[in-house]
Amino acid sequence: YPQYSRTTTGSSLAEWKRQLQLARWDPPAQVVHDYHDDPAYIASVAGAVAEQLARFPRPDAVHLVFCAHSVPVSVIKAGDPYQKQIERTVELVLTTGKWPNRSSLCYQSKVGPMQWLRPMMRETLEKLGHEKVEAVLMIPISFVSDHLETLYEIDIEHREIAHQCGISQYRMAPGLNDAPPFIAALAGLVRKAVSPQLAAGAGR
């Protein structure tokens, strides 16, 4: 997860630690809690956005819609950094890309009756349709690999909603998946995380 939330990274790390305790195994480990502002990661996202923008007939007329998985507002109020990190990632990608395009940030995958981060993706598409926007590029900014919430929720379900709203050109930027720039970014994060450990070992 590029951005940290106790609902995602936090719960995954908790389960990892639980399994290690069950196995009575305590290996040395370094944890990368987030990389929402890592320059190499930001560059890989900006490159993916630029590649998809170039496929539109008029790239400068495309509205960029950054979409992130929503979380309950109560989680954010309790001090979770997720929302601020999402917003920072979007800011850095836009600064890196230097596109003239208008942009929006929205959220998806709300479940249950409690208050979640908004605006939701459907609300954003309906608003853009009302504004007569004809072309949008959906950018899943909290996901780095394609799965149900990108391939179906964004690329199929919300594509249909967009067309119903009068948005005729709809494209989703695929997840970074195994794109070489992204893999290089991950490798850099690993090297940075383990470098103090390696330096300590070399000094012995």
Instruction: Output the pTM of the full model.
Output: 0.93
Tell me the per-residue pLDDT of 103-160, one tens digit each, with 9 for 90 and over: 999 999 988 888 999 999 999 999 999 999 999 999 999 999 999 999 999 999 999 9
Tell me the pLDDT of the chain averaged across its residues: 95
Write down the pLDDT at residue 110: 87
Starting at the edge strand found earlier in the chain, the sheet holding 103-108 runs: 103-108, 63-69, 135-140, 169-172
Residue 198 binned pLDDT confidence (cut-offs 50, 70, 90): low
Question: In 3-state terms, what secondary structure has residue 172?
Answer: strand
Cα separation of 97 and 45, whole Å?
9
